[in-house]
Amino acid sequence: MGFKTLLAYQKAFSLAMEIFQLSKSFPSEERFALTTQIVRSSRSVCSNISEAYRKRDYIRHYKSKLTDADGENSETQLWLDFALACQYISEEKFNGLQDQCLQVGRLIHFMINNPGKFGVKDC
């Protein structure tokens, strides 16, 4: 099993790609502000999940990377708040993306709380 088979990774990747596509419609003046930040944080969730999976030999490293993934997921939610407040996305789109972030967060927490199910050796 590789990290790409993890449901948390798959959902986070899908969310990151949806956010990337959406960010293309943001105003050009947001290119180095909101657009860069929301794309970076959403992609970082996937990156940290994949790193956590590779660090399964060390429970502390595994949990640390997943905690980082959770933090990036929360940051993505913050940037979505700004996108809504700036009226770059509809409330309907915002709600859907926030729901996806919550799903990813729950999956990350499941991975943190159940390391043995993901092959962590030090449990």
CB 84 within 8 A of CB 26: no
Give the CATH number of domain 3-116; options: 1.20.1440.60, 1.10.10.10, 1.20.1250.20, 1.10.4160.10.
1.20.1440.60
Cα Rg of the chain, angstroms: 15
- Dump pLDDT digits (tens) for 63-101: 999 999 999 999 999 999 999 999 999 999 999 999 999
Determine the 3-state secondary structure of 70 from DSSP. Answer: helix
- Whether the model clears a pTM of 0.85, i.e. scores above it, the answer is yes
What are 39-60's pLDDT values in tens digits? 999 999 999 999 999 999 999 9
